Structure 1
Amino acid sequence: MTDMLKTTPDFSIEDAKRLLAGHYGLKGTLSPLDSERDQNFKVMTGSGETYILKIINAGEPLVESEFQTALLRHISRHAPDLPVPHIRSTTSGSSLAETTSGHGVRHLLRLVGWVPGMPLAQSARSDTALESLGRLLGRFDAALKGFMHPGALRDLDWNICHAGRSAGRLHHIAGTEDRALLERFLARFDITVAPRLPALRSAVIHNDANDWNVLVDSDNHDRIAGLIDLGDALYAPVIAEVAIAAAYAGLDHADPIGAAAAIVRGFHAEYPFLEEEIDLLFDLIAMRLVTSVTISASRHAHTGGNPYLAISEKPAWTLLRKMDAMNPRFATAILRHACGFEAAPGAHAVTAWIEANHTSLRPLLDRPAATYPADLVPYADPNHPMTVASAGERPDEAQAIWQAYCSERGVDLGIGPWGEARTVYSGDMFVSRLIEETRRIRHLGLDLFMAAGTRLYTPLAATIVSVEIEKDPLGYGCLIALRHEPEGCPAFVSLWGHLAHEALGRLQAGDRLEAGALVGEMGAPTENGGWAPHLHLQISTDTRLSATEILGVGEERYLDVWAELFPNANAFAGIAPEFFAKTGRSHDEIVRLRKELLIPNLSISYDRPIKFVRGDGVWLIDDSGRAYLDCFNNVCHIGHAHPAVVEAMARQAATLNTNTRYLHDNIVAYAERLTGTLPKELTVAGFVNSGSEANGLALRLMRAHTGRENAIVLDWAYHGTTQELIDISPYKFQRKGGKGQKPHVHVAPVPDSYHAPADWAAGEHGKRYAESVAELIATMQAKGEGPGFFMAESIPSVAGQVFLPDGYLKEVYRMVREAGGVCIADEVQVGFGRVGSHWWAFEAQDVVPDIVTMGKPIGDGHPLAAVVTTREIADSFNNGMEYFNTFGGNPVSCAVGLAVLDVIEGQDLRRNAQEIGNHLIAGFRALQQRFEVIGDVRGMGLFLGIELVTDHKTKAPATDFARAVSNSARQRGVLMGTEGPHDNVLKMRPPMIFSRRDADHLLAVLEDTFEAVAATG
């Protein structure tokens, strides 16, 4: 220190004036400025110019003085607009001058321009100002790219790479706790930071952007006006520039990490960081502070109270204690986010994978969570009695309030959403460690409220990370962390809180859980931390956080960061987004407008209509986010909104859509694929837009070929909406509003083996029912006429899912053809692989129709339908009259049809239909053994029916029971219909993608429903 005193300049103001005049030819008013090693004077010339005269410490090596000079010259040449000191040359044109003190010590002089402004330390340090500082530092360092000088390789303790030297100064720290604090940071530095520093990008940096060396505009404190004092510049890792600035900006700042993030954001915009640099920033900020307090302590006895050294010592200790209380991973997540990096590497991929695969996840509850009637738990309302009870730590009272709330509204599941602001978090444990005088009030998990003991299952295979009991009041109680590593997705952790303690004896770290395995049960208030029973479910994309480190509640300021680190678990839990955002008109308004604007006899399903807003595979989602298992709407043959269909439709629509007057590959490609699924006799296709159009075209083909009109149809048949199809549909013309049977229409009884006369032998049903068709033909022939056609669904649907007796179609087809008619198979509902064993239901009867009609299921609900016939009939139709259908067979529709075929074949959905159908039929028959109301179970593939009767002997229809089951199943989240002449047949036609899990859910709901309806009489 004695040597330093000898080399430190000590010139009077008068001496400085003489030096200024002699070397620079300037006169003016001089005033001294604080400095640690050099001597500085502010110079104000008579002409209004302002400078700083620096008399350099004689102990500074010449190479360092030359380095600073070269640095300033470089900036002046390459970034003259930077608000930093610029050199004023001597009268002889030199960058440096030289003088000798009265002690004979040689000193160098440098004159630089004054940068106007007020020190950042004296301003409010707004985020805008700090981001502006980051931008200036980024521009400064960018200007120094490629610059190097031997003097930059100086050996200073202030070099961040030498921060570990602070360990040698720890003996100057008096307090044991203070030394321990610094030792913790030093240990982290030695283990995780120092080994990685050599691999980082390094360059010449300012190295001392403390809040006294940074100036703000005196009139606009949000704008950085300048950067001064380049005396500590050196060659170091670039990230050190921001670490140093952030260390000083965080002093006495309510949100020091937020201050650092603002600087980072600005710097990154000018000089982009690498992720590996940002990942070390928290520790480097801390180590700058460690260096500062240890140097200050080591010199304290020799400084004589030098304010330059001591000015930041107390706030530095305060900030170090704050940082010691922080989780470095949270701070790093905030800093990463400021650069636009993911808060945790892979976070976006995790959320994208869960969203893309949510339909394949196993249910978290006994059935999919979205199928329960649900409502928001009122924690967002600070005045709600449940919130008040919870905040007052009265969990039993809160539980009772919630149960009453559910009972009043018919709710089975309470949901506490991610991100919700909750005043209920009032304990000390919810005080922020990042921001002073701030509470963590934003919920970062998903709460599911049900009864204590509700069983919870993992949606994905997992490895147990930890099982522990958190005993703090308002804590988690039993807490379980699971690690998931699905293929194609980064690993992530799910956190399960407020569970019953039974899991502690059943599970242990390292155990493997398969998807759907039991995790635990919702705990009672006595063991779940003192809350009403619920699950707190949370996802962490940072797998290095322990269960107790994962933030369950976060600061509002950093909600966008927490959204990446702890993303919303809705999709993981199976909660539909529509639950949180209801859109469009109300139910009552839509019903009113339908009555005003639409034809009045347009029907609506169910006593309480449902407003569906989205389809997803086997599910339909209503406007409240409740999901219904769709076992009824067969039009979406391979599931709602199938991605392959949507993609094919969008791709072709974006390219070309036109009519069939022009050539296009799609129509012939689709015709070739479609006819390839049919018997070899059926080779010619015609494309239309609906099943009704298909049946209408079939009748035109029939007339052109036979010249006849006489129709033979089955009782209770339905074939379409046009008048000529209504005329051949007994389901329509025999009921209210119908005009009765036309003379050319002949109705045969439905060949229903279940309702066949008791004296008919079982093997004779097909033949005996066919005799009625023979009688109709004979009646026509007696009048000198003959049948034009016989049309029937291969499995009559509206008639009650009736499966034709063996041999029936073979016999009827023979008789009709012998009488000169043609045979039309209506496969609109039953075809395209639905029966599983065959592509087409008529194949199960070992027949080949003359004409086959198909409807919208072949386009998965897109308006695509078809007629396929023989070459002979097609030639008869080619009678000179042009056939044209504007949209039938257009490129978009055919692209959709090809996509549907690809899915059916590629995913072997026929086999799936057969296997799942057999499983369902077995399940229905098991129900039949328990419930006498089930008279008959019938089905093939995924075309299924259950007939309900009041008496097995008379087979009297249980119509009211059937309707009650359909409505009650709807209340339980499953859609089915009732059909048959008495509406006593439960009709089910689920999508071809129906899984074993879906089937088991259907069976469970049916069991509950039959029990409930039977109990109410």
Structure 2
Amino acid sequence: MNDTTPVSVFDYFSQVDLPTPTLSDGEVARLFAETFGVEIDVRALGSQQDQNFRVFRRGSTEPLGVLKLSNPVFSEAEIDMQDAAAARVAERSPQVRIPRLVDGPRGPMSTWWDSSQGRIHARVIENISGSTFTGSGYLSPAVVEGLGALAGAVSLALADFAHPASGRVLQWDLRHAERVIDTLLPEEPDAAVRTAVERAARAAREALAPVAATLPIQAGHFDVTDDNVLRAPGATVPDAVIDFGDVCASWRVGEIAVTVSSVLHHDGATPESAFPAIRAFDRLRDLTDDEITALWPLVVLRGAVLVLSGRAQVRLDEANDYAAVALEREFRILEQAASVPLPVITAATRAALGRPAPAEREGTGPTLIPVGRHVELDASTESALNDAGAWLAPRTLDAAALAALDAGADVVTAPAWSARLTGTTDPLPSTAETVPTDVLVWLAEPRHLDGVARVDGDTLTVTGDGGTVTITGVATDAASGTLPARTRLSVRRPLGALVPPPRTTRALADAWREVAGDPGAALGLRSPAPASDDSLARRHGVLAEVQEHYFAAPPRIERGWREYLVDVNGRVYLDMVNNVASVGHAHPHVVEAGTRQMHLLNTNSRFHYRAITDYADRIAATLPEGFDTVFFVNSGSEATDLAIRLAMAATGRPDIVAMREAYHGWTYASDAVSTSIADNPFALETRPEWVHTVDAANSYRGVHRGADAARYAPEAVAAIDELAASGRPPAGMIAETYFGNAGGVALPDGYLREVYAAIRRHGGLAIADEVQVGYGRLGDWFWGFQQQDAVPDIVAVAKSIGGGHPIGAVITRREVADRYRTQGYFFSSTGGSPVSSAIGMAVLDVIEQEGLQENARVVGGHLKRRLEELGRRHPLIGTVHGSGLYLGVEFVRDRESLEPATAETAAICDRLLELGVIMQPTGDFQNVLKIKPPLVITRASVDVFVDALDRVLSTGF
């Protein structure tokens, strides 16, 4: 078609009501056969204004394509334009999958039908493989970025596309959004909906008006949304665009505005969730400053049009389930789009795109000049004010302020824009809104504030030459503008009639400050700007790449307390993975013991001091009779390494038997017996000749499963016997007493008892690696070998015994220890140092005095029952391993084949982090959640974890 040929095109405002065609399945099949020469079966698909079907050759399960019956109001030229635009994108952006017209026996399947409802255009478009993101499930940042990248690729491909029908007037064209709203709003019967739409649209119109005339115009798809993109089977990120039904010429920025709007109704989405899409689009299309200004007003207007149009369509066509189902999510789009004032979200978007921000808003507002001495409180994550859990007490901040006033301060403040952890009385479930927008003030004496004052409840609004502030916490008789003494006052700078929320995210806090100004200026005090944080980049620059960290974009954790971790922005996370902090982060008794001993003495362990003896006695007392000799080291790796060397020295033999898929450490000997391919992909083929392995005794996914797992022990015994018969009787066997590396899998009943007996029969020693599970974590047993009713010869333990301090120990019998003299002498300079010993004894004190083994049994039992209940509802959960507070949730794609859900597990951990839960994968296939929180964790906290996991499995990851 000639691009300059005038054509008749649709004008929405000449026909607002667009009832959907409703041809029956039978009529569709008949007309299809008559015109295209193919007998078909059909399956109806949803659409707001067209009628769509997936079609199959009669009797086939393979789709022939998607049949689109266009609304009769659309002309042939418009349909031609849609096909031409699709072809252009396919040509210019070959990385984007685009459906083409399907060829049938009689040529391209595109024609007009004379149906029972008049002339209707029918065409069959290729059914490309994949799935959409329809519904309101969670969209990961990677998916959101993919949406933006697709919108950018389509926009770039159509940048110079021209067609005679591109001037059509659609209700979805954002250039006409205001007129659509004006047309439909009076017809909306629900007063609450009318009010919400009118309020949001008014603000959007005002923000858009100054730049509307300068926005670039081009052809576009203008419907690259969650419903109209596909991800290939097995992929997570979209790579295909379908449904070119809204192609027209409009504002270029409308392309990404429509895409952004489709993100906002998804689970957990906020306006900030759209930033990855906006950045991806900008990389391809380089948004102008005016387009950035227009973006969020257009998102709001898009939401308003969706709400009004969807509700109008349902009133017109009550049988249109597609439109009816969408009503709730369309209203959520509008709510989210309008949830942050447009100047604020626009400023945050500019920052997210790396655009320079304007200078901070001038004007101080009515000024309260501090008289005499001013004290600023530090309520941030790292402040000493928050030590020993004081941040959870509601009066901590007030007590510190009053103490400063009593010490002579005239004014005490806690600044805005800086993380304020103090007073976080209800830390879970976690929230990312942690940055305060107010400055807190305590006055030594009542103070009069110049300006016009208005009181509403306990809030005083004061307007002066420099602007307006709101002050909350005043007495109701403060209309004169007098502020009370020794009372917490919250001072904010409103944005017009909008008062900032009490707390917001870091990005939005910076944007609020930029557009509303700093409330600290009202006190003659400018709040400090947040410092840029380059610590992660510096870490990458100075640490070895192989020394990895959790998560690709980790929060910067700077405080721990009990089962909580706190980042530098004051966000509280639930720590579900940290068995290092066995008795909880920063336990006061442990802190005090270490601090006191540090004041006294800390030195080389070869000096004589009492603490090392007392500590060795305490550890030995937890073990069966005969364990009377203790070695102290600094880590689990050193402990297992020394245990192996002890066995070799005691027997005079070099050979060690180890279980496959286990991890024992990173030193030479402990790494040699570690065969976890997750930790070392070449673990098995690079073992030294003195290491001999037996099958991983995993009754869930090992060689023998279920009842057949009883075969592991006899087979291991046979391997030991064979090794001895070959003239190489082993020095010992090392095994985790509970298969921790696999995610907390219990060994088959009696396994260690049989294997230990075989090792001893040949003169070897049994080494129990208790680094992960020892010290009461299993609940019913203090040591893992007790679950097996077996007693080893050497026990290696670390992690839990130091509560986060680097302590490791090896415990054995005197005759075994004495044989190490054949290897020379042993010492560890700081292993068992005075401070380490004091801390180690304090950890034992806490476990015993606070009943933490019992807590592991009771809370861990509750946690496992809840996880097993999740497994009955979510097929991705293959099983739940473990005991006490050492559990593992194993994810599989199929419960019969046990195909590991490795990618899914990583994504689940990332989503849990967004919800405020620290979790990591484990196992050779990295498909098991390793659940080993501090032993002090409460039932309420584990419920928070399970609820979060349930949400992730229910809404997506």
Structure with bigger gyration radius: 1
TM-score using structure 2 length:
0.49
Relative contact order, higher structure (CA 8 A, sep 6+): 2
TM-score using structure 1 length:
0.47
